[in-house]
């Protein structure tokens, strides 16, 4: 619609089954034509042999269009290993829903980096998958989704995986 501001929707992705489930939920329930879907991919251990890691470690990569990120050499340049199933799903969603899909690769603690990205990109909301950890494991390992829900400056939807 004319006059409406662009809507930026975030989704945390790690290319797991739970991550794909969260993306599918966002596509089915949240995304609408004209939206920008920002896929946040956090790598815990920076690879300092990659020049991009040194260059973008503090702020994360620039926004990378889906068409570029689908190129194996581009994804590898940022240390990412996207799977074909997720890329196919995203290309289909982008085409059918008429949304712009971009990636942002970040390096460090996923909890902190996701919250940082939310503050730096004007996101209306964030969708994140849940690994379905039990209470004890969540206490011992810490839950990224719990942390983000409690510290994000935008609404966060946690999508549980089908097997949890």
Instruction: Quote helix, strand, coil % in the chain, to nearest 5.
Output: 40, 20, 35
Considering the domain boundaries, does residue 142 fall inside one?
Answer: yes
Considering the domain boundaries, does residue 109 fall inside one?
Answer: yes
Q: Considering the entire predicted model, what is its pTM?
A: 0.86
Considering the domain boundaries, does residue 116 fall inside one?
Answer: yes
Report pLDDT digits (tens) over 53-103. Answer: 566 677 889 999 999 999 999 988 888 899 999 999 999 999 999 999 999
Query: What Cα–Cα distance (Å) separates residue 73 from each residue in 14, 50, 77, 81, 82?
Result: 18, 12, 6, 10, 11
Structurally, how many domains does the chain consist of?
A: 1
Query: What Cα–Cα distance (Å) separates residue 134 from each residue in 21, 78, 131?
Result: 19, 32, 9
Considering the domain boundaries, does residue 20 fall inside one?
Answer: yes
CA angle 106, 107, 111 (to 5 degrees): 80
Domain CATH number, residue 59: 3.40.50.620
Residue 103 lies in domain: 8-160
């Amino acid at each position: 619609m004319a006059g409406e501001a662009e809507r930026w929707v975030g989704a945390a992705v790690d290319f797991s089954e739970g991550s794909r489930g969260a993306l599918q939920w966002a596509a089915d329930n949240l995304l609408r034509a004209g939206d920008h879907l920002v896929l946040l991919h956090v790598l815990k251990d920076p690879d300092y042999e990659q020049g991009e890691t040194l260059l973008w470690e503090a702020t994360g990569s620039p926004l990378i269009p889906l068409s570029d990120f689908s190129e194996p050499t581009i994804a590898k340049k940022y240390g990412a290993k996207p799977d074909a199933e997720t890329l196919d799903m995203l290309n289909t969603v982008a085409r059918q829903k008429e949304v712009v899909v971009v990636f942002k690769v970040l390096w460090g603690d996923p909890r902190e980096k996701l919250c940082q990205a939310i503050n730096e990109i004007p996101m209306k909301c964030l969708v994140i998958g849940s690994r379905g950890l039990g209470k004890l494991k969540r206490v011992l390992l810490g839950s990224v989704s719990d942390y983000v829900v409690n510290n994000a400056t935008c609404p966060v939807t946690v999508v549980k995986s089908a097997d949890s």
